Chains A and B, each alone.
Chain A
Amino acid sequence: MTRSFDIVVVGAGPAGIAAACAAAEQGRRVALLDDNPAPGGQIWRGPSTAHRDAVSRAKERWLHRLQQNPAITSLHGCRVFDVPGDGLLAAEQNGQRVDLRYSKVVLATGARELFLPFPGWTLPGVYGAGGLQAMVKAGLPVRDQRVVVAGSGPLLLAVAAYLRETGARVSAVCEQASWRSLLRFGASIAHTSRLWQAAGYRWRTRGTPFHAGCWPVAAHGGKTLESVTLSNGTRQWTVPCDLLACGFHLVPNTELASLLGCTLQQGFVTVDALQQTLIANVFCAGEPTGIGGLELSLAEGEVAGLAAAGAIRAAQARIPRRDRLRAFAAQLAVTFALRQELHSLSKADTIVCRCEDVTWRTVSQYTGWRAAKLQTRCGMGPCQGRICGSALNFLLEWSPDSVRPPIFPVSIASLAGPTASAPAELSAIQEN
């Protein structure tokens, strides 16, 4: 099946929702598609909690604006995996292939967490930081569970606050960045509402020790997690826990942008003042252009949606506000830069590639990604190197290999073309 739209927006997080609304309000026919079962992206996932803050108010406002616009067709559980031709995207929904024709496309594919391999990180009970939050939002009960939250980035405190409110006993929050960087960051945002937001999270996690300059070095357990060893560089100590929520800030999802031929700089998609990439008719907004949080994603989404709809004046009017928010993104990158000590987190028999169980001993013998892939299958499993590739980019400074379709494993029938229809039984993991 092939469907045609004026504008196709890939990703229904804040950036994609803002882009879709802005474009549809200019009279364009818009498709908004997302892999998840519902719109909202990472931050607006699942039902709202009892705690009413700026985030949940923005969520209600934007979801209302989205739902009441009949010019937007929302496609959920729908994942773009290929670019079969000019102005065309191939997606899979419910095991069926759907092709989407567009005049303009907005890439709002967001970010994923950066995970670094350490001994024990493959044990059941070890989750990403946002990962555990997403599980709880999806119904996982954590009442009275002992949780350690560790890694890096502003997400840690948000996750800890959320877990506390859902009944978990959060025994520690460990941020690898030093107190010095955090205080400098605090001073730089002192004149903005963000300091209040940070202070709010800290208030909601009062009673839970917050360690700066501290990171996890090993997780222990038999079949599931039992404890985690933490380090501050001079001392190590072990904390018993049922769950570990651990992520080292975010990396952008740029696979689709790469497949479309967009230019990346230092891992991020290059865009002009109107969020247009160097490829004609392709716009990009939100985390793929830089990690800057909710407000920047919304601001970029609006500019991209308006520009894609041809409302250039309206788009230009929003540029100054977006640029102010970008300054904050630059601060984030400096504050949460990863420390040198993390380069030695992986030990010889630590599994680096979770799909193919390739260890650090094996993979670190190679000089680059391509050779390691060919010789060890590292990065050749179904995640296609999204976990180990990002880790090795940090650990060994390996630059990513070129992106080839399909960017996600799909059924053989979907690969074959848009007219074929496949029963679910036929779906198989396609390894490239």
Chain B
Amino acid sequence: MTDTVRLTVNGRALTVPAGATVAVALAIAGAACRTSVSGEPRAAFCAMGICFECRAIVDGGPHQRTCQIVCRDGMEVRTE
């Protein structure tokens, strides 16, 4: 098992430590997860699956709570 994982965030390649959640990958990439109803950038907040601020598109699936998903090699993440 390697100790890093490679994925893309909005099309840009990123390497993160194995076991990192997608919310962490987005934070490392400096990307907000989503834009709020009134246009504010939002990122992970509770980190325990409650607030839904960390929603993003993971491998085509919209509205995924990225703080509950562990990164896998080749994953494609897009912000919402």
The number of chain A residues with a CB under 8 A from chain B is 44
Q: Closest Cβ of chain A: how far from B76's Cβ, in Å?
A: 12
Cβ of A134 under 8 Å from chain B: yes
Assess whether A139 is in contact with B59, with CB atoms less than 8 Å apart. Answer: no
Assess whether B32 is in contact with A124, with CB atoms less than 8 Å apart. Answer: yes
Query: Which chain A residue has the least Cβ–Cβ distance from B53?
Result: A354
Cβ of B47 under 8 Å from chain A: yes
Cβ of A260 under 8 Å from chain B: no
Q: Please tell me which stretch of A277-285, A290-298, A335-343, A379-387 contacts chain B, meaning at least 4 of its Cβ atoms lie within 8 angstroms of it.
A: A379-387
Main DSSP-derived SS at the A contact region: loop
Cβ of A35 under 8 Å from chain B: yes
Cβ of A14 under 8 Å from chain B: no
If A381-B52, A383-B52 touch, whether A125 touches B43 (CB-CB below 8 Å) is: yes
Chain A residues, Cβ within 8 Å of B43: 124-125
Measured CA separation A383–B54 after assembly (Å): 11
If A37-B68, A428-B63 touch, whether A139 touches B16 (CB-CB below 8 Å) is: yes
Chain A residues, Cβ within 8 Å of B48: 42, 112-113, 128, 130-131, 134
Chain A residues, Cβ within 8 Å of B44: 127, 131, 135
Query: Which chain B residue has the least Cβ–Cβ distance from A112?
Result: B50
Chain B residues, Cβ within 8 Å of A79: 49
Chain B residues, Cβ within 8 Å of A381: 52
Interface residues of A in 23-71 (CB under 8 A from B): 35-37, 42, 46-47
Contact partner, A357, options B23, B40, B49, Cβ 8 Å: B40
If A135-B23, A138-B24, A140-B24 touch, whether A387 touches B46 (CB-CB below 8 Å) is: yes
Chain B residues, Cβ within 8 Å of A134: 47-48, 67
Cβ of A429 under 8 Å from chain B: yes
Interface residues of A in 105-147 (CB under 8 A from B): 112-113, 115, 122, 124-128, 130-132, 134-135, 138-141
The total of Cβ contacts below 8 Å across the A-B interface reads 117
Assess whether A135 is in contact with B49, with CB atoms less than 8 Å apart. Answer: no
Chain B residues, Cβ within 8 Å of A354: 36, 42, 45, 51, 53
Interface residues of B in 4-58 (CB under 8 A from A): 16-17, 19-21, 23-24, 27-28, 32, 36-38, 40-53, 55
Assess whether A124 is in contact with B41, with CB atoms less than 8 Å apart. Answer: yes
Cβ of A355 under 8 Å from chain B: yes
If A131-B48, A387-B50 touch, whether A37 touches B70 (CB-CB below 8 Å) is: yes
Interface residues of A in 395-432 (CB under 8 A from B): 409, 424-425, 427-429
Assess whether A77 is in contact with B68, with CB atoms less than 8 Å apart. Answer: yes
If A112-B46, A134-B67, A138-B23 touch, whether A387 touches B51 (CB-CB below 8 Å) is: yes
Contact with B along A245-273 (1 / 0, CB 8 A): 00000000000000000000000000000
Chain B residues, Cβ within 8 Å of A128: 45-48
Assess whether B68 is in contact with A36, with CB atoms less than 8 Å apart. Answer: yes
Cβ of B74 under 8 Å from chain A: no
Measured CA separation A125–B32 after assembly (Å): 10
Contact partner, B42, options A46, A122, A130, A427, Cβ 8 Å: A122
Assess whether B61 is in contact with A425, with CB atoms less than 8 Å apart. Answer: yes
Cβ of A223 under 8 Å from chain B: yes
Assess whether B60 is in contact with A424, with CB atoms less than 8 Å apart. Answer: yes
Chain A residues, Cβ within 8 Å of B23: 135, 138
Query: Which chain A residue has the least Cβ–Cβ distance from B71?
Result: A139
Chain B residues, Cβ within 8 Å of A386: 50-51
Measured CA separation A131–B19 after assembly (Å): 17
Additional 18 contacts, C-beta under 8 A, given A122-B42, A429-B55: A79-B49, A124-B43, A127-B46, A130-B47, A131-B44, A131-B45, A131-B46, A135-B24, A138-B21, A139-B20, A139-B24, A223-B41, A354-B45, A383-B51, A386-B51, A387-B46, A428-B63, A429-B63
In the complex, 29 of the A-B residue pairs with CB atoms within 8 angstroms, ordered by the A residue number, are A35-B49, A36-B49, A47-B19, A77-B68, A122-B40, A124-B32, A126-B45, A128-B46, A128-B47, A130-B48, A131-B44, A131-B48, A135-B23, A135-B24, A135-B67, A138-B19, A138-B24, A140-B24, A140-B27, A140-B28, A223-B41, A351-B40, A356-B37, A357-B37, A383-B51, A387-B50, A409-B63, A427-B61, A429-B62
Interface residues of A (CB under 8 A from B): 35-37, 42, 46-47, 77, 79, 95, 112-113, 115, 122, 124-128, 130-132, 134-135, 138-141, 223, 351, 354-357, 381-383, 386-387, 409, 424-425, 427-429
Interface residues of B (CB under 8 A from A): 16-17, 19-21, 23-24, 27-28, 32, 36-38, 40-53, 55, 59-63, 67-70
